[in-house]
Amino acid sequence: MTAGLVSSFGRCGGAAAALSTVLHTRQPLPFVFFTKWAMHDFHTSRWSRARSDSQLRRTHLGRKCTETPMMEMVSVNRYGGNAKREALALAFRTYRSVCQSSETLQAGREAVSQVQLDDFAFGDDEMEEVATDFACLYLNATVLFVSPPSEEMMVGLLSCLSKVLHNSFHWECVLSVLVALLHPEATSARVFVTAFTMMLRESLGESVPKTFSRDGVVLLLLSVARATAILRENEASSKDMVYLLALQQNALVELCCTPGAAPLPREELLVLTDAICWRFAATGGCLHLREPSLDSVVKQLQLSSKAVLDVLVVSECTKLFCASCLALVPPSSEGNPRPQCQHQWQTTLDPLVSHLDRLVRVHSIVDALCVFVGLSVNGDARARYRKYPLALLEHLQEEQDVGNIFTELLRSGGSDVFAALTSTLTELRNSGEDDLADAVSPLLNALSTEVPRAAASSS
* Structural domains of the chain, count: 3
Q: Which of 20, 6, 8, 23 shows the shortest CA–CA distance to 423?
A: 20
18 occurs within a structural domain: no
Let me know if residue 287 belongs to a domain: yes
* Beta carbons of 382 and 437 less than 8 angstroms apart: no
Query: Longest Cα pair distance anywhere in the chain, in angstroms?
Result: 84
The tens place of each residue's pLDDT in the chain, 459 residues long, gives 433 433 333 334 789 999 998 988 877 654 343 443 332 333 344 555 565 554 544 444 445 444 444 456 777 777 877 899 999 999 988 887 788 899 999 999 999 999 999 888 776 665 788 888 889 889 989 988 889 999 999 999 999 999 989 888 889 889 988 988 888 788 888 999 999 999 999 999 999 998 898 888 988 999 999 999 899 887 766 889 999 999 999 999 999 987 766 788 888 898 999 999 999 998 887 888 887 778 888 888 877 767 788 889 999 999 999 999 999 886 653 444 445 555 666 677 888 999 999 999 999 999 999 999 999 999 889 999 999 999 999 999 999 988 889 988 988 888 999 999 999 999 999 988 889 999 999 999 888 886 656 555 555
Distance CA 316, CA 308 (A): 11
Residues 310 and 260 in one domain: no
Instruction: Note whether 354 and 209 are same-domain residues.
Output: no
The Cα–Cα gap between 397 and 403 comes to: 10
Both 107 and 202 in a single domain? no
Residues 6+ apart with CB under 8 A from 194: 155, 240
Domain assignment of residue 60, yes or no: no
Domain end residue (candidates: 148, 182, 216): 182
Residues 95-113: tens digit of each pLDDT? 877 888 999 999 999 999 9
Tell me the pTM: 0.84
Domain span at 100: 29-53+67-182
CA angle 111, 113, 114 (to 5 degrees): 65
In a domain, 384, yes or no: yes
Say if 190 falls within a structural domain: no
Claim to verify: residue 103 and residue 137 sit in the same structural domain: yes
Residue 245 belongs to some domain of the structure: yes
310 and 403 inside one domain:
yes
Does the residue 367 lie in any domain? yes
Q: Are 349 and 450 found together in one domain?
A: yes
Q: Are residues 365 and 245 in the same domain?
A: no
257 and 125 in one domain? no
Last residue of a domain, one of 156, 182, 208: 182
Identify whether residues 217 and 159 lie together within a single domain: no
Give the tens place of pLDDT for each residue, 213-257. 888 898 899 999 999 989 988 776 688 999 999 999 999 999 998
Q: Of 182, 216, 251, which closes a domain?
A: 182
22 in any annotated domain: no
One domain for residues 85 and 126: yes
Do 351 and 428 lie in one domain? The reply is yes
Same-domain pairing of 409 and 456: yes
